[in-house]
Amino acid sequence: MSSNSSVTSWTPVFQKHQIMSSETLPAFVETSNVERTQDLSEDQEESQKPRSGEGLEPISKRQMKKLIKQKQWEEQRELRKQKRKEKRKRKQLERHCQQDSNSDGNDRKRIRRDVVHSTLRLVIDCSFDSLMVLKDIKKLHKQIQRCYAENRRALHPVQFYLTSHGGQLKKNMDENDKGWVNWKDIYIKPDHYSEFIKKEDLIYLTSDSPNVLKELDESKAYVIGGLVDHNHHKGLTYKQASEHGIDHAQLPLGNFVKMNSRKVLAVNHVFEIILEYLETRDWQEAFFTILPQRKGAVPTDNACGSSSHNKKSARAGGGLDSDSSEEENSRNELDSPREEENRDKENSTESAMNSIPH
C-alpha cells in the first residue's frame, strides 16, 4: 500500500514536469535561434568592417582629384582673400598716380579736358567715287579713318565734314567698318559741300593752285579732294574749283621744305598738317612733324639738311607714317613713285583707330 501510494503521488509531479518542459522547449529553441541569428549578424558586420591596415573603399581618379581640389580650395581661402585686398589697393594706387601724373601725351583723359575746339571747317570731298576702282576706294577709306582718329586726339580739333558720302565708299565702310555710324565729332553727309556751305567761305586745297596759304582763317571751310587717282586725273580738283568759282590755294610747302618727290600729299597728311599748325602756329614745324621720312624733306634754306631737322623728320617718319594705301598718288594725296609704295609696308591706321578715346 505504501509503495503504490508513493508511486501514485510522484506520477502527477512527473507528468507536470513533462508538460512544463514541452511548453518551454519551443520558447527555448526560439530564443536560441534569435541569439544565433544575432551572433551571425554581428559576425557579418565585423567581417564587413575594414580590418586594421586595410584602406577605404577604392574611389576613381576623378573623384580623388575633385577631393584634392576641394581641400586645396578650402586651405587657400585666406590666401585668396588677401590677394583680393592687395589687388584693390594696387588699383587704388594706380588711379591715384594717374590723377597726379602730368599730361605727357599718354594720359588722354587729361588731354581731352584741355581741348579747345577750332571753328575752322575741314571738308573731305568724296564726290570722285566714280573715278576710282575698289582698291583705291579702300585706300581712301583708310586715310579717312586716320583723319578721324587724329582729329579726335588733337588739342584743337576742327569741324570735320565728310561730304558726298555714298557709292563705293559707303558700301566699303558698311562692310569693313560698321562702327563708322557711331563716329563722334564728325558730320557725314550724302550732300555736296556746296549745298550747305556758302561759296565765299570755301577754299579748295589743291597743289595745282598758284595761290599759297600764309595763314589759316578759322572762319573758312577748307576742302580736301578725296581722290586716289595715281596721277590719272591731274589738275582735276583745281579745274573744278575754278569752274565753280571757289577760292583755291595750296599749303606753303615749297616755302619751307624741299622734297625728293612731288608736293602732292595724302589726304591724311594735309589734314594732320593743318591740325599741327593750329596747335603750333608754325608751318615748318608742322611739315617736319607730319611728313614721312621717305619723302626726303629738308629745309629750303639748307638743302643738305641740318641734323636737328633730319632727326625730327626721322621721328615723324617712324611714328606717323601710315600704310602704303595712304601714300598713293592723289590730287591732294601722295604722288610718290611705285618703288616708294612697295617699301612702305607699315600699317598704323587700324592701331590709331583702336586707340582713340570714346
What one-character DSSP code corresponds to residue 51? P
- List the catalytic residue out of 208, 229, 323, 335: 229
The closest alpha carbon to 353, from 160, 144, 64, 172, belongs to: 144
Instruction: Return the H-helix or E-strand segment holding 225.
Output: strand 221-225
How far apart CA 215 and CA 252 sit, in angstroms, is: 9
305 contacts 271 by C-beta, under 8 angstroms: no
How far apart CA 56 and CA 71 sit, in angstroms, is: 18
Burial of 194 (0-12, 13-18, 19+ CB in 10 A): middle
Q: Within the chain, where are the H helices?
A: 2-48, 61-75, 77-100, 108-113, 134-153, 167-176, 236-243, 253-256, 267-280, 283-290, 307-320, 338-343, 349-354
224 forms bridges with which residues in the sheet? Answer: 124, 205
229 catalytic? Reply is: yes
The closest alpha carbon to 122, from 74, 172, 87, 156, belongs to: 156
Q: Which residues are catalytic?
A: 229
